[in-house]
Amino acid sequence: QVQLVESGGGSVQAGGSLKLSCAASGYTYNTYCMGWFRQAPGKEREGVAAIDNDGGTSYADSVKGRFTVSRDNAKNTLYLQINTLKPEDTAMYYCALRWRLKCAGVGLWKAAYSYWGQGTQVTVSS
């Protein structure tokens, strides 16, 4: 049974940093594409970063240069380093698993993913 558990969210001031984690279990972790999404109140869930099984990455234009996605296959954990936080980054952040080796150009599409975590809240104050 696939399980994804996010952690690391919190309340920070603008300009600060956070590192989110997503602990994965129930499958062969290092085999699949994984992504990070976020959803602000009243808005659609949007993809912010994705990583292939072999470490290839993609990012939404709005976060390029500030967000870094990585994975530690030995720990079965996905990470999202968020720097220079802005109030508009305030959202619930979710990790997700795509049941394919590669993200293949659809890594930021929520419909491409089969499994989701429960989310971790990030709140940025100005």
| 8 Å CB contact between 62 and 86 | no
Is the pLDDT confidence value at 30 over 90? no
Closest C-alpha among 3, 32, 6 to residue 21: 6
104: left (phi over 0), alpha (psi -120 to 50) or beta: left
> What pLDDT is attached to residue 31?
73
Summarised one tens digit per residue, pLDDT across range 61-92 is: 999 999 999 999 888 899 999 999 999 999 99
Task: Tell me the pLDDT band of 104, cut-offs 50, 70 and 90.
Answer: confident
Average pLDDT value for residue range 98-106: 89
